[in-house]
Amino acid sequence: MLASLIIVFREVLEAGLIVGIVLAATEGVAGRGRWVTMGIAAGILGSCVVAWFADAISGLFADTGQELFNAGVLLVAVAMLAWHNAWMAQHGREIARDMAAVGRAVSSGERSLAALAVVIGVAVLREGAEVVLFLTGILASEEGGVGTVLAGGLGGVALGALMSGLMYVGLLRIPTRHLFRVTTWLLTLLAAGMAATAVSFLAQAGVLERGGAILWDSSGLLRDKSVIGQALHVLIGYTDRPTEAQLLAYLATVAAILGLTRLAAGSAQPVRRAANPAE
């Protein structure tokens, strides 16, 4: 029971924190509930399908299919987060001034929400598939049977959801004028962490052979498999033994998203001045 509780808690925490950040980043934007729900539902369905065909996926690429699949979905999420941050750079000020009205008026908001729905979907898909696979393995080896494993799993879901909810409530306490700046940085660091993790999966699959030297080992201070370490891994991409390739991917992603965001914000300025000639 304890094993299933810990495993499910960690996986739900990782997906739940991402959902919480996305909800905070889209506070006041009309239709966000529908898109978030669609992302979660698609992720759950997809995770069951992936878990069911796990052996076939692994066999397609000489036992590296799961690593390549994980890297692929993470890179998709990175691209979607970059797209959303660029959109927020163009429309964030209007949303901060009149959140409900602009949420209905800005048609491109639907595209931004669709991008974040993809992020939620791939997060739930990856974590959900791991939960199914882990619980299947525990069920095969644990004497307590289905009831014990199910009880532990439900307890893990409850604890993970509670911590994710606390994260979301904490973000909402930030004043509106600062909320989008905070969530933009959170989404940027989240994307950078995903990019670094994708590099790790590519290295495990043998696709990436350079940059494998470990730069430092901070596991003595904080293990990335601990609860706090896992939360920091989701939020800022923390890992206790980063490689050169992971650090390079992390920094490159941060630089690319910040550059794209600045470019999008600059392109939005002439439009605002034209619409408000008195300013």
The mean of the pLDDT values for the chain is 76
Residue 227 lies in a domain: yes
Question: Would residue 40 count as lying in a domain?
Answer: yes
Q: What is the pLDDT of residue 210?
A: 78
Residue 274 lies in a domain: no
Mean pLDDT (whole number) for 179-204: 85
CATH number at residue 20: 1.20.1250
- pLDDT of 263 higher than 80: yes
Mean pLDDT of 154-182: 80
- Of the spans 103-107, 206-210, 273-277, which averages the highest pLDDT? 206-210
- For the segment 207-213, the average pLDDT, to the nearest whole number, is 80
Residue 112: the pLDDT is 67
Give me the pLDDT at residue 275, please.
44
Q: What is residue 101's predicted lDDT score, i.e. its pLDDT? A: 43
Predicted confidence (pLDDT) at residue 278 exceeds the cutoff of 90: no
Contact 128, 11 (CB under 8 A): yes
Residue 107 in this model has a pLDDT that exceeds 70:
no
| Residue 55 resides in a domain | yes
**pLDDT, tens digit, 9 for 90 and up, residues 211-256:** 788 999 998 899 888 878 878 887 888 889 999 999 999 999 999 9
- Residue 202 CA to residue 204 CA, distance in Å, equals 5
Residue 247 lies in a domain: yes
Asked if residue 276 belongs to a domain, the reply is: no
Range of the domain at 152: 2-268
Does residue 277 form part of some domain? Answer: no
> How many domains does one find in the chain?
1
Comparing CA positions, the residue from 12, 9, 18 lying closest to residue 237 is 18
Where do runs of H (alpha helix) occur along the chain? 2-25, 32-52, 54-60, 65-97, 99-105, 109-141, 145-172, 176-204, 227-236, 244-275
User: Does residue 278 belong to any structural domain of this protein?
Assistant: no
**pTM of this structure:** 0.69
